[in-house]
């Protein structure tokens, strides 16, 4: 009796392992989208990816995310939700798209979600991260931090925070060239850049123990304004800043880009979506895959 129980348990677990193995081998059953509704997967309120995505596709108070959307609080969980569900659509960081097997990035407005397309400015679900500072008012510590943001070391730290960067021509950061710095970096602006910039400021101040920093999370608009009137030594914005938006002697530099990939299950036959379609999917106006064909 006991032997029988063990044998059947063993057989069952082998069968399970077997099934899993097949799925891993890269032959998922082709599911015809259209049979069921689209399973919309979103991030949680407060997530930077979510606020960027909603801003880019035009979610607002009159057109909120549909009640039936699944909410997951990590980009990896969104990726796995899409991997496990042939009807699902979700938005994730670019790096998650590469790391998760079984999902596919959709073309947005006909443009493939690749790092090159983001850097070229072609991919629409992308924003530049911009720093704004008064060239005549920056201190030595500010100058060093600006140089750090443009150095290879700085770019590597940005990449670790899901930033999309172009390392060509960037050189390693030479801390010795700045000597023994002192001072306080007064940073501020976009809420989307906060996590990345505070991370960079942490690694920067580790090199210069007498430099401290503060980041005032107020929004891109305030970042642009406060960098000009001297409230911030460096302001940050997560949108394009035109040269005529700022006064004389104010430098605007894009140091990194933010890209959001729209992922569907590998078995999904859809090629791409438009921004308008994404808006309608996330607000519940489009509910089936058939409407996207």
Partner 1 sequence: MVELSVKLEEENSVECALFLHYFEVEVLSVEKEMSVNQRRVMMEKLFHGIFFTAASIAVVSVALIIIFIFSRGLQPFFPGNEFGNYNPISFLTGLNWRPSFGTFGIGYMIVSSLLATLGAILLGVPIALLTAVFLAEVAPKRLAAIIQPAVELLAAIPSVLYGVFGFAIIAPAVRNISPYSTGNSLLAVILVLSIMILPTIASICTTSIRAVPGYYREGSLALGASKIQTIFKVVIPSAKSGILTAIVLGVGRAIGETMAVILVAGNSEGGIPSSIFSIIRPLTVNIALEMGYAAGMQQQMLFSTAVVLIIFIIIINLVLSKIQKKAG
Instruction: Enumerate binding residues for partner 1 (CB under 8 A).
Output: 2, 36-39, 44-48, 51, 54, 61, 64-65, 67-73, 77, 80-81, 84-85, 87-88
Of 254 and 288, nearer to partner 1 (C-beta) is: 288
Of 173 and 289, nearer to partner 1 (C-beta) is: 289
Q: CA 41 to CA 69: how far, in whole Å?
A: 6
Q: How far is the CB of 198 from partner 1 (least distance, A)?
A: 13
Q: How far is the CB of 73 from partner 1 (least distance, A)?
A: 5
Q: Which of 164, 130, 127, 128 is nearest to 234 (CA)?
A: 130
What SS3 class is residue 55?
Answer: helix
**Cα within 13 Å of Cα(236), Cβ side:** 28
Of 120 and 160, nearer to partner 1 (C-beta) is: 160
Of 65 and 165, nearer to partner 1 (C-beta) is: 65
| Element containing residue 215 per DSSP (H, E) | strand 211-217
Q: Going by C-beta distance under 8 Å and a sequence separation of 6 or more, which residues neighbour residue 129?
A: 163, 190, 192, 193, 196, 236, 237, 238, 254, 255, 256, 257, 258
Of 39 and 147, nearer to partner 1 (C-beta) is: 39
Of 11 and 120, nearer to partner 1 (C-beta) is: 11
Q: How far is the CB of 176 from partner 1 (least distance, A)?
A: 37
Q: How far is the CB of 218 from partner 1 (least distance, A)?
A: 12
Degrees to nearest 5, angle at CA 203 with 201 and 208: 85
DSSP class of residue 252 equals E
Q: How far is the CB of 232 from partner 1 (least distance, A)?
A: 19
- The two beta strands, 234-237 and 88-93, are unpaired
Q: Which of 115, 129, 127, 128 is nearest to 193 (CA)?
A: 129
Q: Which of 174, 175, 156, 176 is nearest to 166 (CA)?
A: 156
Q: If you search the block for the tokens 């996330």, which residue do you land on?
A: 282
Of 44 and 140, nearer to partner 1 (C-beta) is: 44
Which residues in 154-164 are b (16+ Cβ under 10 Å) and which e?
bbbbbeebbbb
Q: How far is the CB of 204 from partner 1 (least distance, A)?
A: 23
Q: How far is the CB of 254 from partner 1 (least distance, A)?
A: 25
């Amino acid at each position: 009796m006991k032997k029988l129980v063990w044998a059947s348990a063993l057989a069952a677990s082998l069968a399970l392992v077997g099934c899993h193995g097949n799925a891993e081998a890269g032959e998922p059953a082709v599911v015809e989208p259209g049979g069921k509704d689209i399973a919309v997967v979103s991030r949680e309120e407060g997530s930077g990816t979510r606020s960027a995505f909603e801003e880019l596709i035009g979610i607002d108070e009159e057109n909120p995310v549909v009640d039936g959307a699944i909410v997951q609080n990590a980009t990896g969980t969104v990726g796995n939700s899409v991997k496990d569900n042939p009807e699902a659509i979700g938005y994730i960081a670019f790096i998650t798209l590469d790391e998760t097997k079984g999902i596919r990035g959709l073309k947005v407005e006909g443009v493939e979600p690749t790092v090159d397309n983001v850097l070229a400015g072609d991919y629409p679900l992308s924003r530049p991260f911009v720093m704004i500072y008064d060239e005549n008012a920056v201190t030595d510590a500010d100058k060093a931090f600006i140089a750090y943001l443009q150095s290879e070391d700085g770019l590597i730290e940005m990449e670790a925070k899901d930033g999309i960067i172009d390392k060509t021509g960037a050189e390693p950061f030479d801390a010795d060239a700045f000597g023994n710095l002192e001072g306080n970096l007064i940073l501020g602006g976009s809420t989307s850049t906060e996590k990345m910039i505070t991370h960079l400021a942490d690694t920067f101040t580790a090199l210069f123990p007498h430099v401290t920093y503060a980041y005032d999370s107020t929004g891109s608009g305030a970042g642009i304004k406060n960098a000009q009137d001297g409230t911030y030594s460096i302001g940050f914005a997560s949108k394009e800043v035109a040269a005529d938006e700022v006064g004389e002697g104010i430098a605007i530099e894009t140091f990194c880009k933010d890209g959001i990939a729209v992922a569907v299950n590998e078995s999904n036959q859809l090629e791409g979506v438009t921004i308008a379609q994404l808006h309608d999917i996330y607000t519940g106006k489009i509910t089936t895959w058939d409407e996207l064909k």
